[in-house]
């Protein structure tokens, strides 16, 4: 918790951006710890108001420097997806620490460094140009989901890393496991539904879910139907302690994890579980 600070309020944000040198300067807006960058001015005028609304719902952000890049395309290939199981590689948003996060398309990566070739940011939220990003309600839901992952990273980087290991491995030995059984995912889903309901009203959010479920039925897309059905039934008022749940999920799958994970990964999980049991939060 020591990495937290108050900030991220649009009213207190800086207005001048320390821009990396690049031939084609994308549109930007910068707040206390958050730099938004848009692929084009057209994208900025369309999405900037929505970004501001989401940001205002996160009055307490971690003290890490965050780059939030809003793209208008979907890259063919991202090394950041390599570690994810195949079904999770179709994505509408990502949150990753920039160090060790692999290569990104040049128009995104040129933002990563200062003119002294140092990292200008700690973390990246990346929203590609999908059909979900073009709808205001789903865009807010995606952005709020990724913002909550950033908040989690600030709350406990150790627990965030444990969840990262769980999401890459649980599906391998338990194909029936759902993505929301990974604690940081369920927490991000609860918070993003709450933010979207605040912004657009519960009725509009429910209508969106019903539309997506109907669409999944029409296209016989079982995975999509499962996700939207879960989201539809999820209470945005649910009190959920994702750190505590992380320890529970590790214990649930312990025999499988001990068989499948490397020594280093298992050590990370055990350190977290022991530390949490002793009252530390990472």
Residues that bind Zn ion (CB under 5 A): 185, 188
Q: Residue 188 or residue 257: which is nearer to Zn ion going by CB?
A: 188
Least Å from the CB of residue 78 to Zn ion: 15
Between CA 225 and CA 227 the distance in angstroms is 6
User: Do residues 119 and 112 make contact, with C-beta atoms less than 8 angstroms apart?
Assistant: yes
Minimum CB–partner distance for residue 58 and Zn ion (Å): 15
Closer residue to Zn ion in complex, CB, 178/266: 178
Closer residue to Zn ion, CB minimum distance, 155 or 185: 185
Of 44 and 163, nearer to Zn ion (C-beta) is 163
How far, in Å, CA of 63 to CA of 208, rounded? Answer: 34
Closer of 181 and 185 to Zn ion (Cβ):
185
State whether residue 217 is helix, strand or coil: helix
Q: How many H-runs (helices) and E-runs (strands) does the chain carry?
A: 10, 7
C-beta separation of 125 from 93 below 8 A: yes
Position of minimal CB gap to Zn ion? 188
35 touches 52 (CB < 8 A): no
Choose between 83 and 119: whose C-beta lies nearer to Zn ion.
83
* Closest approach of Zn ion to the CB of residue 221, in Å: 19
Whether the Cβ atoms of residue 188 and residue 231 lie closer than 8 Å to each other: no
Residues ≥6 apart with Cβ < 8 Å to 9 = 31, 32, 56, 59
- Least distance in angstroms from the C-beta of 93 to Zn ion: 8
Q: Which is nearer to Zn ion, 152 or 247 (CB)?
A: 152
* CA–CA gap between residue 137 and residue 231 (Å, rounded): 14
Give φ, ψ of 48 to 5 degrees.
-55, -45
| Distance in angstroms (rounded) separating the CA atoms of residues 188 and 186 | 5
| Shortest reach from residue 149's CB to Zn ion, in Å | 6
Closest CB 185 distance from Zn ion, rounded Å: 5
67 has which bridge partners? 35, 124
Tell me how far, at minimum, the Cβ of 268 lies from Zn ion, in Å: 19
């Amino acid at each position: 918790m020591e990495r937290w600070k108050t900030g991220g309020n649009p009213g207190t944000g800086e207005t001048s951006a320390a821009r990396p040198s690049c031939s084609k300067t994308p549109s930007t807006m910068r707040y206390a710890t958050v730099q938004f960058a848009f692929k084009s001015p057209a994208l900025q005028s369309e999405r900037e108001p929505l970004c501001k609304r989401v940001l205002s719902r996160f009055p307490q952000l971690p003290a890490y420097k965050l780059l939030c890049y809003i793209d208008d395309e979907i890259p063919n290939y991202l090394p950041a997806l390599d570690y994810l199981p195949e079904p999770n590689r179709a994505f509408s948003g990502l949150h990753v620490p920039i160090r060790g996060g692999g290569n990104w398309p040049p128009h995104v990566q040129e933002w990563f460094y200062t003119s002294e070739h140092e990292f200008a940011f700690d973390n990246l939220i990346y929203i590609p140009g999908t059909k979900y990003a073009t709808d205001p309600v789903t865009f807010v839901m995606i952005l709020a989901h990724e913002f909550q992952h950033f908040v989690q990273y600030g709350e406990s980087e150790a627990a965030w890393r444990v969840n990262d290991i769980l999401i890459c491995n649980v599906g391998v030995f338990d194909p029936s496991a759902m993505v929301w059984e990974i604690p940081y995912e369920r927490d991000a889903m609860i918070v993003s539904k709450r933010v979207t309901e605040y912004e657009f009203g519960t009725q509009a959010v429910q209508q969106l879910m019903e539309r997506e479920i109907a669409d999944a039925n029409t296209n016989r897309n079982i995975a999509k139907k499962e996700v939207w059905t879960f989201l539809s039934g999820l209470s945005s008022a649910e009190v959920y302690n994702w750190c505590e749940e992380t320890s529970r999920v590790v214990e649930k799958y312990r025999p499988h994890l001990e068989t499948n994970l490397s020594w280093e990964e298992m050590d990370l999980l055990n350190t977290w579980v022991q530390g949490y049991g002793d009252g530390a939060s990472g």
